[in-house]
Structure 1
Amino acid sequence: MASQHRRIKRTLAATAAVAALAILTACSSAGTGSAANDSKYGFTTAKQDSKSAITVWVDAAREPLAKAFVAANPDTPIKIQTYDGNAGGSDSFKTKMALFDQSGSGWPDVVFSTQTNDTSWAAKSANGTQAFAAPLNKGLFPASFLNGFTAGAESPMTVNGTVYGLRNDLAPVVLWYNKKLLDQFGYTAPTTWQEYEALSDKLAADHPGYILGSVGDAFTGTYVYYWGAQAPIFQLKGNTFSSDFTDKHTTAMTDLIDHMLANKTLVQDSLFSADFVKKYASKLVAIPGPAWYAGALFQNAQSLNNPAGEIGAANPLYWDGDAKVTGNVGGGVWYASSHSANYAAVKKFLTFVISSPDAAKLASGLPAYSSTADTWLTAQTSSGYFTGDFKGAISTAASSVWKGWGFPSFSPETAYAKVVVPGLAAGKTIADLSPAWQAEMKNEAQVQGYTVK
């Protein structure tokens, strides 16, 4: 756990506050009022009012945590609104904020997003309005708090030394396995991608109908398999986007997925669909997937709902003879609005959802804050639900995420959902679909203003 718990080194700016971009009308939670340059936060703020209710946007999974804050802080004025959480790269967060930018009002005070790449646009001013995301390390949060995040957790939300978001959870990919089925069939959990593919042939021959995963969700095909394979199909350097489908890591993963789709140990059903639960709840032998499968998939009464002692987490799969790295599936982010009129309440709320006992208790996956992660890991281990070295596998994965994946202002999930999912359903292979998949990602990059290599 030593590598997981290294504290991020943060250097607070000692220079004067950034120049004001414009005099802004107050946000919806502030009502009307004049803006003022509050240099202690490092950016232009609306006139502050500690009695002003803050509006918080959350997805359904984070709603219980927001409600826990209300219960624990009845005197803090707050309005909770649910939305899709920008899931699947829907761009709903960005689209709605653009509308508020145009009208000059309406911004929520806090927003949760499932997409770690939202910082790429939320930290930039647009249409003459200052950036939506408020700088967090210029005075709003002390270094002592920000240094509490697991090493590297805040990197995607840090631009030129300024932190624009707080990571809710880490989502490194491990290999989940069903010990009961492995023991029953006389198999051992694979440790490499090559062993994973070899196991698929054995499983297909000896126990047809049993599976080793699904590529029916956009996040699985992109983040679990291609990111985990070190496939450089989604990279960003400066303002240049590139996507390489000829790299050996890419072609090897494409071949692996096509092979396992052909022998039917990989399926095309969405993991969280009723059909998947009905058909495969008792037939899932192993599956590579993020840490949050712990609560969202295996311990979820509406999903697989496996009994205690069946499911274990093993170290991430890697290519034999190559770097032992893994992919990452999301890891939500909390953003504070630069337009809020009540930063006292915003700070109180964000501190609660990141580091309170409820943040650990209600987490479905590995929290990004070190002390919260410790509490969650200890609780999961001591519960007796998971078999094997659960804590060791999650910790190994958290420090092994491949750093070659990019974080532009759009998600790779949209191109996968548009091209690959229907293409596979029509009987095509990933190899067949790769040119169109690559072209769609490049088109999205160009639309977003990136130079395409």
Structure 2
Amino acid sequence: MNRGCAPAAPNRRSGRSIATIARLAGVAGTAALAAVVLAACSGGTSVGGANAAGKTDSSSPFGFKTAAQDANADITVWVDSTRLDAAKAYQKANPAAKIKIVTYDGNANGSGTLKTKTQLFDKAGSGWPDVVFTTDNNSASWGSQSPSYFTAPLNKGLIDSSTLSGFAKGALDPCTVNGTVYCLRNDLAQDVLWYNKKLMDQWGYTVPATWEDYQALAGKVATEHPGYLVGTAGDAWTPEMYMWGSECPANQVTGAKAITVKATDPKCVRAATMLDSLIANKTMSTLPIFGADFAKTQGSKVLMMPGPAWYGGAVFQGTIKTPKGEIAVAPALHWADQSTPVTGNVGGGAWWISSHSKNLAAAKAFATWVTTSDAYQADLSPGFPAYSSAAAKWIAKQQASGYWANDISAPIIAAAGEVWSGWGSPEFSQEAVWSKVVISGMTQGKTIASLLPAWQKGIEDQAQVFGYTVGK
């Protein structure tokens, strides 16, 4: 099972600018929770009050039991405030489409809203949305399983193979379970190396290609330009940049309810040791990047910063407001012993079609359009599109803005296909574990390397709470 990338995160992900951080909380129309009338199923029966849609059915053209279909039925689409533009763009392009748009928190910050609401709808036997956007990619970890089977399989006949093949390499891995694809990725959040070209040229530094080079350059910066930074380690998604890119096997989902945790593996230790050395020489910030203190006290001191594709707009243009013509992008850093360069991923959202939908044709049309159409993905999307043809146009548009100090296209496009598939998306939030164990330990003066055993135990404990079998 591959579920590789992105965990619940603050709502600045998926390329969102600071201006679009505000969210519309809550879900409208929850009066349906009181309904007890069960939706009809094609050949299905109700179990515990829940619609039997979604279960495997070899006789179905889609590979799962469907609700009784009605081509004239409205579809309900849940979006977060940032993806509201996607739904509106679809309505504009398809004025005859009958859709009801509901805004909710998008599962941001690990809220679990979708799962909680789905459980209530399962009990009521109605109320499920037809299409949902989430800021995380791990809804397949519970939505593909009994009793809800909420997330519809997409590669068994529902979504055209030609559409699925148009996504970037590995883009659908986070929501693929035992070969079955359950989502269409909206955007990617592959890590690259951002750097201040003006300062690098002024100081005669060579842009590093490996983590070893990066660490060595940080040592020079500490001595020659104290106060300048080469990265940040104060956020909950820190492991998704440094541990993920190091192929640290702390988060390998191997089954619907199985995970392997090896947080003290040498590949985890090398990343932790590097971070500790940079924190010690004060070239690695331990402040949250979107906190007021970072922008105020350290924002002008960033020489380099490993981070996702969305850092360009959200961090450099939005938060720290680096002047035009200074920021450039280099290929994702890799360790010298990695035969094939890999990188991490911080965020990137996904669209899910409900197996309970009574109008799968309309749900398919919506989900396909918002993930592949240039009218949204190339022209309006704030993040790097997961669909390759739209991504090429999106990056060209960013380049044409004149903000960047180099051609950012090649390294960002290359990194999209280099995200390591060994980092899983379990049902629980890895970021919450990192915050509770590692960030809290760092505030007490402990090193990250010394906290790896505690991180291991924290992941194991959380996995067991959610019923996972833990391997080591």
2:333 to 317, 340, 347: 317
Q: Distance in 2 between matches of 1:51 and 1:28?
A: 24
Q: Distance in 2 between matches of 1:385 and 1:196?
A: 25
> What is the root-mean-square deviation of aligned Cα atoms in Å?
2.5
Aligned: 1:373 with 2:391: yes
2:254 to 223, 237, 255: 237
Matched residues, number = 422
Q: Distance in 1 between matches of 2:344 and 2:248?
A: 10
| 1:224-258 deviations in Å (ceiling 9; x for gaps) | 01001111111233354222233221111111111
2:422 to 399, 404, 416: 404
State how 1:186-335 maps to structure 2 within 5 Å.
186-219=204-237, 221-238=238-255, 239-300=257-318, 303-323=319-339, 324-335=341-352
Q: In 2 relative to 1, CA 404–159 (structure 1 residues): closer, same or farther, beyond 3 Å?
A: closer
With normalisation by structure 1, the TM-score equals 0.86
Equivalence for 1:447: 465
Q: Please state how far the C-alpha of 1:334 moved relative to its aligned partner.
A: 0.5
Equivalence for 1:75: 96
State how 1:316-395 maps to structure 2 within 5 Å.
316-323=332-339, 324-357=341-374, 358-395=376-413
Q: Distance in 1 between matches of 2:60 and 2:33?
A: 19
1:112 to 120, 125, 133: 133
Give 1:353's aligned amino acid: V
Q: Distance in 2 between matches of 1:222 and 1:83?
A: 27
| 1:371-403 deviations in Å (ceiling 9; x for gaps) | 111211222233333233412211221222223
State how 1:85-104 maps to structure 2 within 5 Å.
85-104=106-125
Contact kept in structure 2, 1:58 and 1:113, CA below 8 Å: yes
Give 2:349's aligned amino acid: G
Contact kept in structure 1, 2:251 and 2:261, CA below 8 Å: yes
Give 1:34's aligned amino acid: A
Equivalence for 2:84: 63
Q: Please state how far the C-alpha of 1:197 moved relative to its aligned partner.
A: 1.7
1:122 to 132, 143, 149: 143
Q: Please state how far the C-alpha of 1:125 moved relative to its aligned partner.
A: 2.1
With normalisation by structure 2, the TM-score equals 0.82
Does the residue aligned with 2:138 lie in a helix, a strand or coil? Answer: helix
| 1:299-347 deviations in Å (ceiling 9; x for gaps) | 33xx233333221111111122333221122321110111122223312
Q: Distance in 1 between matches of 2:96 and 2:438?
A: 49
Contact kept in structure 1, 2:69 and 2:359, CA below 8 Å: yes
Contact kept in structure 2, 1:314 and 1:389, CA below 8 Å: no
Give 1:306's aligned amino acid: T
Equivalence for 2:450: 432
Contact kept in structure 2, 1:28 and 1:108, CA below 8 Å: no
Gaps of 5+ in 2: 1-31, 44-58
Q: Distance in 2 between matches of 1:420 and 1:166?
A: 32
Q: Distance in 2 between matches of 1:143 and 1:437?
A: 40
Q: In 2 relative to 1, CA 96–209 (structure 1 residues): closer, same or farther, beyond 3 Å?
A: farther
Q: In 2 relative to 1, CA 47–237 (structure 1 residues): closer, same or farther, beyond 3 Å?
A: closer
Contact kept in structure 1, 2:264 and 2:456, CA below 8 Å: no
**Which runs of 4 or more aligned residues in structure 1 lie more than 4 Å from their structure 2 counterparts after TM superposition?**
26-29
Contact kept in structure 2, 1:46 and 1:341, CA below 8 Å: yes
Contact kept in structure 2, 1:118 and 1:409, CA below 8 Å: yes
Q: Which moved more, 1:162-171 or 1:304-313?
A: 304-313
Does the residue aligned with 1:441 lie in a helix, a strand or coil? Answer: helix
Q: Please state how far the C-alpha of 1:45 moved relative to its aligned partner.
A: 2.6
Contact kept in structure 2, 1:182 and 1:189, CA below 8 Å: yes
Give 2:176's aligned amino acid: T
Q: Which moved more, 1:202-211 or 1:325-334?
A: 202-211
Aligned: 1:150 with 2:168: yes
Q: Please state how far the C-alpha of 1:122 moved relative to its aligned partner.
A: 1.3
| 1:194-243 deviations in Å (ceiling 9; x for gaps) | 22222222222232322122122111x22101001111111233354222
Aligned: 1:45 with 2:66: yes
